[in-house]
Amino acid sequence: MSTLYTFVPSPLHEFPDHPERPGRLDALIDLQAIPGTEALLAQPATLEEIGRVHTAHMISALEQACTLGPGVIDYAPTYVTPTSFSDALLAAGATIAATRAVFHGDAENAFAIVRPPGHHAEPQRAMGFCLFSNVAIAAKDALAHGLERVLVVDFDVHHGNGTQASLLNEPRAGFLSTHQEHIYPGTGSLAEAAHTSGRVINLPLPAGTGEQGFLRIADEIISPFVQKFRPQLMLVSAGYDAHWHDPLASLAMTAGGYYALSKKLVGLAGEICAGKIVFVLEGGYDAQNVANGINAAFAAMTGAAQPQVIDKNPHAEPDISARIREVKQVNLL
């Protein structure tokens, strides 16, 4: 079986001087030229599918705002244009299509390269550049179609508050977010969602954490969590703004780090859930970093060699040993 991808660039979802723009995808190579991959056409998500996560009032209010656009709808700033509602429906639908193809066994794994992104969008509001919560919608769809356990891993530099809020009271869904501490959206503390008994894990990281820290997290936190929760499907919120050169934050991942992390996640999926894993694009505001990260994920998913990218973090990493110990204690890992 091949690795599938869906591609929703939403070229008209754009606002002057905004970092979440179509140009984020300009450095991607021809996706059709990647060996072992195949394109999958997608349809817009239905209102019923969106409604598994978002309230009817939120959906109608967002549609109305887009009709009146272009304009800014929150302080992040999140913007909308006249095409944004249909763009967001298609992004969610493409994420659902990629996920269904994997859990039905039509593909080994998949990547939904979509925008607008989704992991900040909460059930009752769009926020943080995000309109619909693409990953949470796909997770709820998988559960609605018979899966018993789905796990989301979010390595975007910002906390996936929308995904967490959407899945917080869903015992069949696990969620783990690594994110830089003390930045937007201000959520994701270590003790947040304590009532979930380790089903929801937040791992706030100090500025400068990079490849060494993330690979420790993969081995010492993510791996035991996956083995304990034993999902039948893994969804990955793949934000590439944790890169050291991203303009909006201060973590320190590299292209090689993304390859190594992606390979570990793909390996865990192979060990626990028959290889069923879907990557979904979230943030990342340097086009070359986004392209390098996506290429790294495709290499991990297809078994190709690590892409050769000259990309060295120029900064020393902080020691996150104490934070890892805290996370283990809080979540009984």
CA distance 92 to 94: 5
* Confidence tier at 162 by pLDDT (50, 70, 90): very high
H or E element that contains 80: strand 79-80
Which tens digits make up the pLDDT trace of 34-56? 899 999 999 999 999 999 999 99
* Confidence tier at 174 by pLDDT (50, 70, 90): very high
Which stretches does DSSP call E strand in 243-288?
Answer: 277-281
CA dihedral 117, 118, 119, 122 (to 10 degrees): 150
Which tens digits make up the pLDDT trace of 230-274? 999 999 999 999 999 999 999 999 999 999 999 999 999 999 999
Q: What is the DSSP letter of 279?
A: E
Cα angle value 108/110/112 (rounded, 5°): 165
Which backbone phi and psi does 159 adopt, to 5 degrees?
-60, 135
Catalytic residue among 54, 120, 158, 159: 120
Structural domain total, the chain:
1
DSSP string, 180-225: ETT-TT----TTTTGGGTTSEEEEEE-TT-BHHHHHHHIIIIIHHH
The token pair that represents 40 in the structure block: 């999958």
Which tens digits make up the pLDDT trace of 107-141? 999 999 999 999 999 999 999 999 999 999 999 99
Arithmetic mean of pLDDT, 208-222:
98
Let me know if 114 is exposed, middle or buried by CB neighbors in 10 A (0-12, 13-18, 19+). Answer: buried
Which tens digits make up the pLDDT trace of 189-214? 998 887 887 899 999 999 999 999 99
Global pTM reads: 0.97
CA distance 96 to 327: 31
Which tens digits make up the pLDDT trace of 46-85? 999 999 999 999 999 999 999 999 999 999 999 999 999 9
The token pair that represents 197 in the structure block: 């008994």
* Buried/exposed code over 238-267 (b: 16+ C-beta within 10 A; e: otherwise): bbbbbbbebebbbbbbbbbbbbbbbbbbbe
pLDDT given for residue 149 in this prediction: 98
Range of the domain at 211: 3-331
For the question of residue 245 being annotated catalytic, the response is no
Q: The CATH number of the domain where 127 resides is what?
A: 3.40.800.20
